[in-house]
Structure 1
């Protein structure tokens, strides 16, 4: 055989061997299609030996530094033809521009990596922050949420041009004082750590993001931070196999694409003194690659960390890392020195060129898998919005909710029930302003808020102590702004002592927004005099694991029973709080506050529709302002205030912007918020018979034409009662002056009824109203005629049957237990004028602006308390009441009204007569007229009010809707609200959003 043919055969065999070696190294690493494989092979063939070394080096990149720094980074990457950049602090737009610039100048597309364990926000502003891994460790039986987190993070990373996430941490954190892992671990149970890490890895890798398990072979059991020193792991090989190595073994079997080697000194694995695992052939090659069979990318931890550089200088350490078996060196500080040292190692035979080539090809295959074989620059348009999608918000809520852990619940105190029996104070520790927790808690009931920090004067603390004597429940929310043990988790001695005081009262529910290990700092040794002040003496303890708006808001919702708790402690804190601790708490049907997407509604679409309709009405001056609140499935998904209290500065100051908690005059919504629920309850108690007659409960009607009217007919407006009577005109003489024994301009015992601030009614005048109703004629024909008259009388019916006055009965039976404290008559007794939008300037009767007093003249003449008008309240509290209706009489763990009675009152009573009414409630017309939305089901019901109020309930769609405005300001002669049909159209927008779903 000719000599040159032997050379060709020998060359082919060498190539085949190299190819076989490379393929054996990467055969199960990443599945590539033909084009990807060809690209990797082609690029590899085009690289010089030096360039193949450079592909194994990643330098650090920052997008928050000056142009001179960026220029130097660009020059470093371009000159040395480096393989990748690991991005650190900055912002998404700045990083994207820097990445595009670097990629444009690189012959081979760069592999871009980030440390994004809990999302891009770990490094970048204006991006999504997911929960820490320890928080995720508390989640039970729902690891699909963690998978979804990985998938969402992968989408965000890829949108930003990132190909590798140095995550997750699979260290088993069995050392509470671990300064560097700690909250970054899923916990101390190796099985849970493995299971959750696997979900996270699969979520990322299934969506084309490379991952890196860290910190091999396990950084969980050390008190030293490898950023600052070389930690010693003094464990036997058997111990390491049993615990630290377990997650790595299992996840390698499951196909993890990367592993990061930690800077650890582990004598059981490598006896060389002060040798970090990063530089250990015994650990990197023998253990990880050979023994565990890992064929993916092996990354170093940052090559600038003191755990490495303390004993090995930059450059030399890089060469030793590759000599140990590393595939990619992360954060090489001195690139020229590193390249020189690696080439010297090759020349001296400590590293073979073949091994460099195999690792280079592995990196190129990873680049091809990540799509760099078809590289495209990052599109800057809409980048920040794309990185912050509403689906990420929803996922964050779900992850947080699933992690909430209740560690103590004395006598099942949580969720709080019977709010009418509780006088609640909220104390925010280490916050000098109202917290998100406090704001959310205030949605549920009336709460007095206090804020304490380590700088609070002792005199103020003394005042707070004295004030707390007036409360039988204290919500203590401990806000810790540091998660690390070196800072004692942000706990201050002064405030920690105050927390101990609070728990010693026996009235405290404590929520700790911080690292779970801080519980030990709030638990005093049992042999001290302060044993009775341990946090475990709290009546209930809630652990959300960290301080975010999500944890604050959802913890409050948990305490009040809108959501439940299923979380379990992922670490052992001390003998009292151990791994697996966590009490199940079930929700009790109170309103949950969330985003529309949680119930399958597109928030952007819903907001656009509602905003458009309301803003049109504001432009047309249909009303000065309004509040809209919507809920589906017992979840508030829309709550927004629009406009102002008035159109201009006519009241002596700039118009006050409408607020969510403003109190509105409900007008005729009063009928189904006072009289109707009272009668429902009395029907339940067999005290009121719908088929009885008016005289049965109002004996003074005995000789009137109303005595034998049946209540069912009366309540459905077909009993022949007149629509209304103008009672106030009877108070005036023909010349407009007041008749005797009607009103005076000063309050007195004889004139106690306040019509305005300067007009007071004779104490016995309400009797003339009742007499007028008694003597009023009936309509000739029995047909539907909407009437106020019977509703004016229901307070008397209720008082006769319950022995309580009307307002007291409503508050004790419904409003206070519901936590609906703003539902009240005569609101100026409890609330300031600036929380109440004014209604009409009354030019005929009271000759003044009606502001804080009931608009309806008859209700005003009845001392502001009537069954047809007079109720004031906020949208949120009205929503609680109607949610109770929606839930068939159930709310907050209490059955207020039986489901049968709710069904009876809310069904059509006489559809055969063309009467659309339920008992008290309005319902959809049989032909499209009236207030009901076009899409409303036949099971739906609601009511409207003259002042511009409206609510609607639809059991078929499981939704509630409240619209409150002051459309009669400054005059009732404004028909724009009706002409625009705003209230109904906004309700219809909700229906359409529900039907449309998320697209």
Structure 2
């Protein structure tokens, strides 16, 4: 039985007397606006169509591109035989769907209207495509960011059209005011009708402005039901006044704005139609009386899928299709039994329950829609580059911006977020319900040292206790709750999951990030006790990545909760968090650069070096305007294992010997801080800061001249050679093969230096003769001395001073001397096989001989670290001495040290920094601006900073492996070439 009459009854039950229509002023959909050419085309098609073909134009069959050839054959036969109007695609892949689309279109006399139900993009149905955020996630966005939803709609339209599709059954305009709604829920923009209307309108306009037909759904509102219409007929037991004030509001607003289509839901709504068990899809009162007459909608009225139990439970296929058109629908989606549907609709025409003129009018409307989307000039889908075209980087930028704008901070005790004073934090991260280290944890570790743990509902009591015990040594615990199930009921939360989160909150130091449906907040007890609570709304690569960046202040947060969860977490809740100037990790398109072009340019330069064996491997990291947009590891640690070391693939987190980049990573910033503190004067003399230099030939030399390499100092002194006898043996009180109290300075595993020999090195520097002429001569010698000056002026050892006052505050925790103390050799890249002095592979120890004889620590060489941590320091320079909202060096000091000091003398140097020469000399990128600066290192390292374009560049390689005699990295211009490739990409743009 259906609506109270036998299912084979030839006429529908008499409709409930409708409320007198009050027509809303609605904008005519664009596809229906007067166009003589469109009318002529539609009329010419209809002139040769019999009634059954006109009816068939109103039917869209379901299509799948992941099924057998036999299925595709039968689908093609169905389209050809019945001359159907369209196809609605579901599961599959883009290339297979494109091929099937081309086949179906070739079988159709009139081009098919191709549709998809793709609320969050094509990935809702197809693999290998772009997945945009759920509408509930977008509901968290503030009103000021809603232009991004328009951009998403425009990109969805582009992807649809590239795949030969013309209709998106979106946006969802339902107001989700029922937390237990099993079918809408996260598909809605939220419970605020005004926000739902605004956001749905932005999405609709983005699509329609780019020639994609849309269909608002699920009219007249599916947000307040506890029943899934896929499986039963939901009852909406609300008054007409309630419906008018809430459910109908977004539909009314979007129809006024010119919606192209509206999808009717399978709902039983007594306030609108009292006929028992009649779905709204089949209700004349709702489809014609309310939608068309009262709201003035003149676009395409689509049914929801005609196979859903909310419809077929009472009306079998065929009869339901007939009743739908009788009620006023234009297009039947997912008709299960097409022969029976066509027969029943023809029967309705014969019996005059549906006039032939109504059929003609609806068919003509369908044809006008086809003309508007370009089917009057149909072309097959081009298969070449299809997947690449559907997955453009620009789509990722939109995805990132949407996700970033939606991030919502719900609690933030004592302004815990963003994390500040990294030097005071001991941080652990715990990913709950993850089986492997998560992207969230990996991104957290880009900002500072973070110890990671994994727990799940399957973890044993012993495992849980061990982790909780370990957390005792940390004062900050960053918890990610990774919930794959976003659907109602438990939302992926097991009882044990809730217990785990509760215990972590109970530590009193947990920042909780819940990657799941916002309603899950009611399933996790005591969340208000977290020091901070972040809601990203779903679990994706983007939410994991950007939530971590939010926690460390690379980005801010302005999201607001789109629904009420409980009394504690209500619609509109959320806190505004401002970014604090740490590196952001993103893709080139976010800063207006083509990722394909940049990668091609950088790869070509780097691979030139690799192929020429200029180095075994390298790491390149590029940032613009504080955004890291390129990070890539190339090659291997070594060419082979014959000289020691391992030919392991290079990794982004490998530590390299910085060589002379040490100068601007240790000595120079230390001096800048001392200048800020009033403890060092760059116009003071060497004798003032080195008492032993009084009355020496260096007593009155100014530090400004020293730091610009025009103080007449010798370029270098080969200190190790003075330890050798003519026969090649070591002199007395120099080196021995075993460590002892008298020989504690470890140079290699079997070479230890006499404890007082460093004094000899410093005496040799002090007593070294000066050059005859005051001119530019690059010299290492003064940089040996800065650790002594720092210790004398601060009372701190040089490394401890740097780590405590500079590296730890910016999270550059890998920057260190003698990295063997802290890191396995597998993470440290070897340098040279020293066949003259140390007779071994230099691996995890400083390459420079002089620094090695000082225990691996000097102001001119010896610092190791990763590209990422070096970039934090260079970004500090680029940001005028500020990083992470801390002013570590004064802006005026940065300006002074990085400017040309003696341009009138033709000296290109800043104070400690290399700068571009007035006439290109190969030490700087050709395209560098006069404001740029940086430094190179003997082992093959390089960094360059250019405030004029916001450029920050780090290049690390071990060009001295296996021998320093290989200088191809400079001969080929690799390091500066990569920088110039970056400049070109900036100039070229997208």
The TM-score with structure 2 as length reference comes to 0.96
Verify: 1:569 aligned to 2:561, yes or no: yes
Q: Counterpart of 1:710?
A: 702
Q: Counterpart of 1:460?
A: 463
Name the CA shift for 1:197/1:682 in 2 (closer, same or farther; >3 Å).
same
Find the partner of 2:786 among 786, 794, 804.
794
**Aligned mates of 1:27, 1:795 — CA distance in 2:** 74
Q: Counterpart of 2:627?
A: 635
Secondary structure in 2 matching 1:790: helix
**Aligned mates of 2:250, 2:152 — CA distance in 1:** 20
- 8 A Cα contact 1:29 1:255, kept in partner: no
**Aligned mates of 1:430, 1:590 — CA distance in 2:** 29
**Aligned mates of 2:908, 2:572 — CA distance in 1:** 56
Q: Counterpart of 2:296?
A: 293
Q: Counterpart of 2:762?
A: 770
Secondary structure in 1 matching 2:287: helix
Secondary structure in 1 matching 2:170: coil
Q: Counterpart of 1:245?
A: 248
Q: Counterpart of 2:861?
A: 869
Moved over 4 A (4+): 24-29, 651-654
Instruction: Map Cα deviations across residues 802-846 of structure 1 (whole Å, 9 max, x no partner).
Output: 000000000001111110011000000000101111111111111
The range that moved more, 68-77 or 798-807, is 68-77
Verify: 1:922 aligned to 2:923, yes or no: no
Matches within 5 A, 1:143-162: 143-162=146-165
Verify: 1:594 aligned to 2:596, yes or no: no
**Aligned mates of 2:644, 2:863 — CA distance in 1:** 27
**Aligned mates of 1:730, 1:25 — CA distance in 2:** 91
Shift of 1:27: 8.3
- 8 A Cα contact 2:284 2:327, kept in partner: yes
Verify: 1:401 aligned to 2:410, yes or no: no
**Aligned mates of 1:282, 1:126 — CA distance in 2:** 43
Shift of 1:28: 6.9
Shift of 1:649: 2.9
- 8 A Cα contact 1:481 1:490, kept in partner: yes
Q: Counterpart of 1:880?
A: 872
Name structure 1 gaps, 5 residues minimum: 1-23, 524-533
Shift of 1:401: 0.7
Instruction: Map Cα deviations across residues 467-501 of structure 1 (whole Å, 9 max, x no partner).
Output: 11110000000110011013x11112212211100
- 8 A Cα contact 1:186 1:570, kept in partner: yes
Secondary structure in 2 matching 1:264: coil
**Aligned mates of 1:30, 1:757 — CA distance in 2:** 84
Name the CA shift for 1:605/1:408 in 2 (closer, same or farther; >3 Å).
same
Secondary structure in 1 matching 2:915: coil
- 8 A Cα contact 2:32 2:365, kept in partner: no
Shift of 1:747: 1.5
The TM-score with structure 1 as length reference comes to 0.96
Q: What's the RMSD between the two structures over aligned residues?
A: 1.2
Q: Counterpart of 1:68?
A: 70
**Aligned mates of 1:925, 1:600 — CA distance in 2:** 29
Instruction: Map Cα deviations across residues 237-290 of structure 1 (whole Å, 9 max, x no partner).
Output: 000000000011111110000000000000000001111000100000101011
Q: Counterpart of 1:658?
A: 650
**Aligned mates of 1:576, 1:859 — CA distance in 2:** 60
**Aligned mates of 2:278, 2:653 — CA distance in 1:** 64
**Aligned mates of 1:598, 1:82 — CA distance in 2:** 43
Name the CA shift for 1:315/1:269 in 2 (closer, same or farther; >3 Å).
same
Shift of 1:457: 2.0
Name the CA shift for 1:213/1:55 in 2 (closer, same or farther; >3 Å).
same
Find the partner of 1:931 among 900, 923, 944.
923
The range that moved more, 489-498 or 275-284, is 489-498
Matches within 5 A, 1:565-964: 565-650=557-642, 655-964=647-956
Secondary structure in 2 matching 1:78: helix
**Aligned mates of 1:106, 1:978 — CA distance in 2:** 64
- 8 A Cα contact 1:301 1:330, kept in partner: yes
Shift of 1:652: 6.2
**Aligned mates of 1:381, 1:737 — CA distance in 2:** 69
Q: Counterpart of 2:125?
A: 123
Q: Counterpart of 1:53?
A: 55
Q: Counterpart of 2:360?
A: 357
Q: Counterpart of 2:12?
A: none
Number of residue pairs the alignment of both structures matches: 964
Secondary structure in 2 matching 1:58: strand
Q: Counterpart of 1:538?
A: 530
**Aligned mates of 1:670, 1:110 — CA distance in 2:** 66
Verify: 1:493 aligned to 2:495, yes or no: yes
Name the CA shift for 1:722/1:450 in 2 (closer, same or farther; >3 Å).
same
The range that moved more, 730-739 or 862-871, is 730-739
Name the CA shift for 1:25/1:868 in 2 (closer, same or farther; >3 Å).
closer
Secondary structure in 2 matching 1:380: coil
The range that moved more, 171-180 or 28-37, is 28-37
Instruction: Map Cα deviations across residues 412-448 of structure 1 (whole Å, 9 max, x no partner).
Output: 1111111111000010111111111111111100000
- 8 A Cα contact 1:452 1:495, kept in partner: no
The range that moved more, 434-443 or 652-661, is 652-661
- 8 A Cα contact 2:227 2:234, kept in partner: yes
Name structure 2 gaps, 5 residues minimum: 1-25
Shift of 1:752: 1.3
Q: Counterpart of 2:430?
A: 427
Secondary structure in 2 matching 1:704: coil
**Aligned mates of 2:236, 2:626 — CA distance in 1:** 52
**Aligned mates of 1:37, 1:209 — CA distance in 2:** 19
Instruction: Map Cα deviations across residues 782-804 of structure 1 (whole Å, 9 max, x no partner).
Output: 11111111100000000000000
Q: Counterpart of 2:87?
A: 85
- 8 A Cα contact 1:628 1:639, kept in partner: yes
**Aligned mates of 2:878, 2:463 — CA distance in 1:** 45
Shift of 1:358: 0.9
Instruction: Map Cα deviations across residues 144-174 of structure 1 (whole Å, 9 max, x no partner).
Output: 1101111110011011111110000000001
Name the CA shift for 1:654/1:736 in 2 (closer, same or farther; >3 Å).
closer
**Aligned mates of 1:747, 1:491 — CA distance in 2:** 58
- 8 A Cα contact 1:724 1:789, kept in partner: yes
**Aligned mates of 1:249, 1:308 — CA distance in 2:** 25
**Aligned mates of 2:729, 2:123 — CA distance in 1:** 71
- 8 A Cα contact 1:28 1:295, kept in partner: no
Q: Counterpart of 2:216?
A: 213
Name the CA shift for 1:786/1:981 in 2 (closer, same or farther; >3 Å).
same
Matches within 5 A, 1:142-181: 142-181=145-184
Q: Counterpart of 2:3?
A: none
Secondary structure in 2 matching 1:299: strand
Shift of 1:35: 2.1
Instruction: Map Cα deviations across residues 562-588 of structure 1 (whole Å, 9 max, x no partner).
Output: 111111111111111111111011111
Q: Counterpart of 1:973?
A: 965
**Aligned mates of 1:30, 1:873 — CA distance in 2:** 64
Verify: 1:475 aligned to 2:460, yes or no: no
- 8 A Cα contact 2:27 2:257, kept in partner: no
Find the partner of 1:31 among 19, 22, 33.
33
- 8 A Cα contact 2:679 2:793, kept in partner: yes
Q: Counterpart of 1:390?
A: 393
Secondary structure in 2 matching 1:477: strand
Secondary structure in 2 matching 1:932: coil
Name the CA shift for 1:919/1:966 in 2 (closer, same or farther; >3 Å).
same
Shift of 1:196: 0.6
Name the CA shift for 1:26/1:322 in 2 (closer, same or farther; >3 Å).
farther
